[in-house]
Chains A and B, each alone.
Chain A
């Protein structure tokens, strides 16, 4: 079978981007390889670990479970697009630093993106709601306590962002 290629266009972190991809190429691989945005990490690559979580049209989704061709025309935000344009960290990123919400840091982009999306829609979550919101992300280092502490801190401080 002759390999098909497709042109895709999407806005990534506010910038229009184009790529030529095979249909089987995931959004995650396209972000990393075609757009050079290696902040989106790939852990399991089959929809379990959540390290590849990005925002597509505002929703936190797994970029390893979406083909780039499906994201054609979408608005994508990766972890690189969360920090304020002038530099520094977002409220969620700051909270992860202050509460030791990471150790090796591999899973952190996924957690930060998931939590950013969740707190945008649910500004006053309970502890149980935060745990559920982050249940699609796995961390093998921290035991999650620092991450939940960071999530609580970020939830408390979202308004001063």
Chain B
């Protein structure tokens, strides 16, 4: 199974990559290739040229920087999974990385590629959205940073313009410890039919703030503002979670396909929201909820 013929351009540095991108009309950026290669083989993507940024080592790695943690776009899922800072502070990311795709994809797939691809059924964007991530994008002579919620536009659609490359994803360095990710996967592809990430801040027995993000259900990963509002100010106990989780898919225009109907996806989102919230609350308070 061959992709269509293309010109291969290996970028030696970020400026070089941006020059190569700016020179072509129909150029795709190749990072880990775990989404791009299948699309090229199925001729869903038929680029005239491919710029391989895989060798730009300075775009890989996790580094704390003041009140943010910077994740280089070329950081693989596997590298993220093995990073001590991620393991220590971002339990929801650890949850997602453990159930994301498989060993082979985790070794090649990158965080930047995931975000740039804009797949509405990807695991990590739900976690990143719940953690208030921002995306740094470079073009020739310019760099901009945009909130992930504004970057993800729709099915395979993002804010990324021609000539731009995602260089970094950053998240707050002190996220709420009460965070968790839950998914229900399509068992052949491992993609989530629905996935929910919850991040709770708890103080003096009260949920002071909540961010809940849902993937796989609609055309883009979205925050469930109704659930978040219902949780804010509620007592930090399991009884608070049920009613707010029931709102998790309200207002969503659900996807429907051969794997799951829209109403089923919405049902999954409500169930997974309850589970993610329960686990997040356990992690926030250190208490094990009653069964």
Residues of A with Cβ closer than 8 Å to B? 1, 3-4, 6, 22-26, 45-48, 50, 53, 59-62, 64-67, 69-70, 114, 117-118, 132-133, 135-136
Contacts and interface: CB of A to CB of B under 8 A. Distances in A.
A61 B102 contact: no
Contacts, number: 85
B5 A61 contact: no
Given A1-B7, A46-B42, 11 more contacts: A1-B48, A24-B40, A46-B1, A46-B37, A65-B108, A66-B37, A70-B30, A70-B33, A118-B103, A135-B103, A136-B102
Most chain A CB within a 10 A radius of its CB, from B2, B37, B101, B189:
B37
B57 to A, nearest CB: 13
B6 interface: yes
Nearest to B188: A48
A133 to B, nearest CB: 6
Given A70-B52, A133-B103, A23 B1 contact: no
Interface in B1-51: 1-8, 10, 30, 33-34, 37-38, 40-42, 48, 50
B190 interface: yes
A66 B108 contact: yes
A23 B7 contact: yes
Contact of B33 (A22, A67, A114): A67
A35 to B, nearest CB: 18
Interface of B: 1-8, 10, 30, 33-34, 37-38, 40-42, 48, 50, 52, 54, 78, 98, 101-105, 107-108, 188-190
Contacts of A59: 78, 107-108
B104 A53 contact: yes
Nearest to A21: B8
Contacts of A60: 103-104, 107
A53 B108 CA distance: 12
A42 to B, nearest CB: 8
